[in-house]
Amino acid sequence: MGRVTLYIADMDARFIARVRGALAGHPDISVCGSAGDGIRALEDLRHLCPDVLLTDISLPGLDGIALLRETRRLRQPPAVIICTRFCSDAIMACTCRLGASFFLCKPVEPASLPALILECRAFQTPAPVEIARQGEEGPEQERFASGARALLQRLGMSPRLSGYAYALQAVQCCQGDARLLKNLSSGVYARLATQSGATVPRVERALRSAIAIAYERGALRELFPRRPTNRQFIEYLLRSSNAE
């Protein structure tokens, strides 16, 4: 697997310079180009074909959402990381529906970006991304997992979201050991972080973001009067998956 190529679209030249500096000399990531406006960025994307696009929402000429929409039409669409000060559940839901892999709210420490950029490899495959299972599943476990997948699909949670994989693995873990729900950070999140090579905060954020997106799509609104917490969502999946 070769180096991941990154393209940066951002009006802030200082931010671009900071990202370039943070990635300088990285063995697995190279910056192939950058632009301060959306039109120039789209032209570059067409011939550079980067693996990952890091873009702000606020861009002259063609804003970040329009740029994201246009990337879906490219012969080799990049995985997309949105990094912006325009943060809201509605904007996050919109960008993820259009295929964004991650949504980050500025200010962002550039040193935190390499792990996300490398994680974007998973979003370049059309197959649903799931955390690797530990050991073989028996018929009962597979039936439960199939029920959980069907339920997540009905609730509008896209398999392209990392939070989908964490939600699926969370209910599988808790089915085998309900004690993991007593303390999410040291229980469920810690187990998922260990299995996936992530961190506890990243697991928590990914789940929260995926739930927010699913709630914006409407199906969850019929079940919860307000957006459910991670715990409420996992408990609901755990109760309901056996009925699938």
Tell me the CATH architecture of domain 4-124. 3-Layer(aba) Sandwich (3.40)
CB-based contact 195:188 (threshold 8 Å): no
CATH topology of domain 139-241: Arc Repressor Mutant, subunit A (1.10.10)
Q: Kindly state the average pLDDT of the residues 148-173.
A: 81
| CA 33, chain centre distance (Å) | 23
Residue 160's pLDDT is 66
CA gap 244, 95 in Å, rounded: 30
Picking from 41, 39, 47, 40, the residue whose alpha carbon sits closest to that of residue 7 is: 41
Q: Which residues, other chains included, contact 18 with Cβ-Cβ below 8 Å and sequence gap of 6+?
A: 110
Three-state DSSP state, 211:
helix
Is residue 26's pLDDT more than 90?
Answer: yes
The tens digit of pLDDT for each residue in 76-86 reads 899 999 998 88
Block residue for tokens 């018929």: 139
103 vs 160, more confident: 103
Picking from 64, 62, 54, 57, the residue whose alpha carbon sits closest to that of residue 33 is: 54
163 vs 56, more confident: 56
Confidence of residue 242 (pLDDT cuts 50, 70, 90): low
Q: Where are the domains of the chain?
A: 4-124, 139-241
CB-based contact 79:51 (threshold 8 Å): yes
The tens digit of pLDDT for each residue in 163-209 reads 888 888 888 888 877 788 888 888 888 888 877 667 888 888 888 88
Q: Report the predicted TM-score, pTM, of the whole model to 2 decimal places.
A: 0.56
Confidence of residue 20 (pLDDT cuts 50, 70, 90): very high
Is the peptide bond preceding residue 107 cis, with omega within 30 degrees of 0? yes
